[in-house]
Amino acid sequence: MNTKHLIDLNDCSKEEWEDIINLAVNISDAPERYAETCKGKILATLFYEPSTRTQMSFQTAMLKLGGNVIGFDNPLNSSVSKGETLADTTKIVSGYADILAIRHPVEGASLVSAQYSNCPIINAGDGGHLHPTQTLTDLVTMKKEIGHIDNLTVGFCGDLKYGRTVHSLIKALCHYQNIKFILISTPELTLPDYFKEYIVQNNCAFQDVLSLEEAICELDVLYMTRIQKERFASEALYNEQKNVYILDNKKLEHAKSSLKILHPLPRVDEIAAEVDEDDRATYFKQAKYGVFARMALISTLLGQTHEKYQLKGTSSEKACSNSRCITNQENGIRKSFYQIGEKSYCEYCDAECK
Ligand code: NCD
């Protein structure tokens, strides 16, 4: 793989990420064979936002590869609480560790780290933007449980506006053959325009749908998501959206027997506990595959010669229109935009900038 960091899966070619998926599948068949692959190496997990699965699966992955782990999961216990910038924290920690996994509430944060780091950076979730290692996990799950990733009708249900797992997975699936997207959400939580534009630019089809009941019979994969309470401007707005979509056994009566139900987890109440007993419930297996996906990714990135990330877009003094973007939250960050047709997009958060 040529890519030195994993910020957005689409920085790699499809062949490159398929190599990681295939390696993850091989690792899952015999993980003990990889027990010394990263001996003597250190992974640092810098988690500025809560996490159970992502952080622990990164740590488990590194330990299973024979490496060690350092890091924090509460920035209040680190120098971040004294006002240290992300760039400085990255420079310091990348002098201690061989690879860094960063989760941050601000969109584009890991791209900032990748410009300053002395070792590979993995984006473990940047605000409501992207979550590429969850996507690797999802693709490994589909490969293992369905056998292929082409020719599928995939329904995404719930918070498609702030759900970074949804954004990353849609971007990746656009590169497979004959994928049809059914976007099941309220108008308030619909997929942001720039991701819809990405679907269209890549010649895929999508349909916006309000009712899970009506869409479920068509689906090969149903990707349920949590309403991302922490990203709403107010509790009142969140309360209007919670509990709209609940998958239960009754709704599943209309689904294909081959359906696979995925969820990045944690769930709140969008999947009733009774569904866990259904053979189509795949989300707990999916969480396990996350360890193998991250083992494959860590060992691949550690096999590269390191280079700092160089911005690809054109720099400009104009501001990104997205208030949740790191360029609007921290000082001294070099802005960068890329063009598709007439439109200009922020390299950090992909928002269209007018
Ligand atoms: C997701 C995340 O953090 O974006 N969880 C995860 O990484 N497994 C989804 C969520 O929090 O709802």
Question: Cβ(158) to ligand 1 under 6 A?
Answer: no
Backbone torsions φ then ψ of 137, nearest 5 degrees: -60, -45
The closest-lying atom of ligand 1 relative to the alpha carbon of residue 290 is: 8
pLDDT on residue 299: 97
pLDDT mean across residues, the chain: 95
Can you tell me the distance from the alpha carbon of 200 to that of 205, in angstroms, rounded to the nearest whole number? 7
Question: Cβ(327) to ligand 1 under 6 A?
Answer: no
Cis before residue 266, ω within 30 degrees of 0? yes
Can you tell me the distance from the alpha carbon of 6 to that of 29, in angstroms, rounded to the nearest whole number? 24
Closest to 131 measured CA to CA, from 105, 157, 94 = 105
CATH 3.40.190.10 fits 132-287, yes or no: no
Tokens for 292?
């193998």
Under 8 Å between Cβ of 259 and 280: yes
β-strand pairing of 42-47 with 68-72: parallel
Question: Cβ(101) to ligand 1 under 6 A?
Answer: no
Can you tell me the distance from the alpha carbon of 109 to that of 102, in angstroms, rounded to the nearest whole number? 8
Q: Cα angle vertex 173, ends 261, 156, to 5°?
A: 40
Distance 291 CA to ligand 1 centre (A): 15
The answer, yes or no, to whether residue 318 has pLDDT greater than 90, is no
Can you tell me the distance from the alpha carbon of 166 to that of 182, in angstroms, rounded to the nearest whole number? 12
pTM above 0.95, yes or no: yes
pLDDT on residue 77: 79
Distance 165 CA to ligand 1 centre (A): 7
Confidence band for 80, pLDDT divided at 50, 70 and 90: confident
The CATH 3.40.50.1370 domain(s) of the chain lie at: 132-287
β-strand pairing of 121-126 with 99-104: parallel
Quickly list H helices, 39-192: 53-64, 86-96, 109-116, 132-145, 164-173
Count of all residues that appear for the chain in the document: 354
Question: Cβ(294) to ligand 1 under 6 A?
Answer: no
Cα 59 to the center of its chain, rounded Å: 17
Question: Cβ(41) to ligand 1 under 6 A?
Answer: no
Distance 343 CA to ligand 1 centre (A): 30
The DSSP bridge partners found for residue 270 are none
The answer, yes or no, to whether residue 267 has pLDDT greater than 90, is yes
pLDDT in tens, 87-106: 999 999 999 999 999 999 99
Distance 227 CA to ligand 1 centre (A): 10
Distance 72 CA to ligand 1 centre (A): 18
